[in-house]
């Protein structure tokens, strides 16, 4: 098997996804992790969340926790072999910063669930450098999509997405690292939604439209899928757990990226997000929490 060669990992973003990636990388791949978030409060909350995840095995917990080190800014990532960005917003500017601050050999991975990896790779090319030049190709070639699933310590899958520019070496090393972190890897082309969200989000959106049109009640929609299709939870409850704002953002990306009317977001979904009803994380969505 190809060695991933990752001796130190940098994770940008200490939210639930970023912390989860840091956690499995420290625990399973056993690499030192540098963790950065602009919010010190978020870092503190994230590390407290790590303590909770690790409380079942004290010895293993201490080893993993000792491998995670907060840093004050991304300049602290200067010597990492791979940097993973959790942040969905400002991906382009983040990867431009990675190009300036990180080693030229570092892999730049995006944990996006829908944003074009090719577009992010283009943003990693230094200003004034041609995308067709050797420097441009090398800069963009180290960008890859590593789509982890929430909650990261529990979900076994990582989607590996190649930009048009991603080098084979970057792909091979990223795959090897995900496997070392205990994940099964599937591969998708860089298309809107990749495989997972191109299938899941229209399914959720259609369930919301059924509720919107009065085809069935919330409980009947979810019960139909749970008992009729053996799904662990119904699509409306699942949307609440993902976050309705996240569902809307991904559905809008699918619609904008394809201009296919079948991806048009439900009006009810848009209104619920307008109301601040984001699901479980806000205390109210299709269900109350």
For residues 72-87, average pLDDT: 87
Taking CA atoms, 29 is separated from 5, 25, 145, 168, in Å, by: 11, 5, 18, 21
The reported pLDDT for the residue numbered 47 is: 79
The reported pLDDT for the residue numbered 58 is: 56
Full DSSP string of the chain? ------S-EEEE--SHHHHHHHHHHHHTS---EEEE-S-HHHHHHHHHHHHHHHTT-HHHHHHHHHTEEE-SSGGGGTT-SEEEE---TTHHHHHHHHHHHS-TT-EEEE--SSS-HHHHHHHTSPTT--TTSHHHHHHHHTEEEEEE-SSTTT--EEEEEE-TT--HHHHHHHHHHHHHTT-EEEEE-S-TTTTHHHHHHHHHHHHHHHHHHTSS-HHHHHHIIIIIS--SS-HHHHHHHH-HHHHHHHHHHHHHHH--GGGPPPHHHHHHHHTT--BTTTTBSSSB-
- 10 Å Cβ neighbour count for 15? 17
Rounded to 5 degrees, φ, ψ at 238 are -60, -40
* Interval 151-198: pLDDT, tens: 898 999 999 999 999 999 999 999 999 999 999 999 999 999 999 999
The reported pLDDT for the residue numbered 96 is: 84
* Interval 205-219: pLDDT, tens: 999 999 999 999 999
Give catalytic residue positions.
113, 147, 159, 197
The reported pLDDT for the residue numbered 2 is: 58
pLDDT above 90 covers a percentage of the chain that reads: 72
Reported pTM: 0.88
d(CA 52, CA 33): 18
Q: Mean pLDDT in the chain?
A: 91
d(CA 163, CA 188): 10
**Has residue 238 got a pLDDT over 90?**
yes
The reported pLDDT for the residue numbered 217 is: 98
The reported pLDDT for the residue numbered 73 is: 87
* Interval 18-68: pLDDT, tens: 989 999 999 999 999 999 988 888 888 877 877 776 666 656 667 788 899
* Interval 91-119: pLDDT, tens: 567 888 888 889 999 999 999 877 889 99
Q: Which two tokens stand for residue 52?
A: 């909770």
**Has residue 69 got a pLDDT over 90?**
yes
The reported pLDDT for the residue numbered 86 is: 65
Q: Strands 33-36, 68-70: parallel, antiparallel or unpaired by DSSP?
A: parallel
d(CA 62, CA 27): 10
d(CA 12, CA 61): 22
Q: What is the largest CA-CA distance in the chain?
A: 58
The reported pLDDT for the residue numbered 54 is: 66
**Has residue 289 got a pLDDT over 90?**
yes
CB 94 within 8 A of CB 12: yes
The reported pLDDT for the residue numbered 38 is: 85
For residues 226-250, average pLDDT: 96
């Amino acid at each position: 098997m190809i060695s991933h060669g990752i001796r130190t990992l940098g994770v940008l973003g200490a939210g639930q996804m970023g912390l989860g990636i840091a956690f499995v990388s420290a625990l399973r791949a056993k690499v030192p992790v540098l963790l950065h978030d602009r919010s010190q409060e978020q870092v503190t909350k994230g590390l407290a969340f790590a303590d909770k995840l690790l409380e079942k095995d004290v010895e293993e917990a201490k080893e993993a926790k000792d491998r995670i080190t907060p840093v004050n800014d991304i300049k602290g990532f200067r010597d990492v072999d791979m940097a993973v960005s959790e942040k969905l917003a400002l991906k382009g500017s983040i990867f431009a910063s990675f190009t300036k601050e990180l080693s030229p050999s570092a892999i730049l991975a995006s944990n996006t669930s829908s944003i074009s990896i090719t577009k992010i790779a283009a943003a990693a090319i230094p200003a004034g450098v041609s995308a067709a030049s050797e420097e441009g190709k090398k800069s963009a070639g180290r960008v890859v999509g590593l789509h982890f699933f929430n909650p990261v310590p529990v979900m076994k899958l990582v989607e590996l997405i190649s930009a048009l520019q991603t080098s084979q070496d970057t792909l091979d090393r990223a795959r090897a690292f995900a496997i070392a972190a205990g994940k099964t890897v599937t591969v998708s082309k860089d298309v809107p939604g990749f495989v997972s969200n191109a299938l899941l989000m229209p399914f959720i959106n259609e369930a919301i439209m059924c509720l919107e049109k009065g085809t069935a009640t919330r409980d009947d929609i979810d019960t139909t899928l749970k008992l009729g299709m053996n799904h662990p939870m119904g699509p409306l409850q699942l949307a609440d757990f993902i976050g309705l704002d996240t569902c809307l953002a991904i559905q809008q990306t699918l619609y904008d990226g394809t201009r296919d009317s079948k991806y048009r977001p439900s009006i009810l979904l848009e209104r619920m997000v307008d109301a601040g009803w984001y699901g479980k994380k806000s205390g109210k969505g299709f269900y109350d929490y």
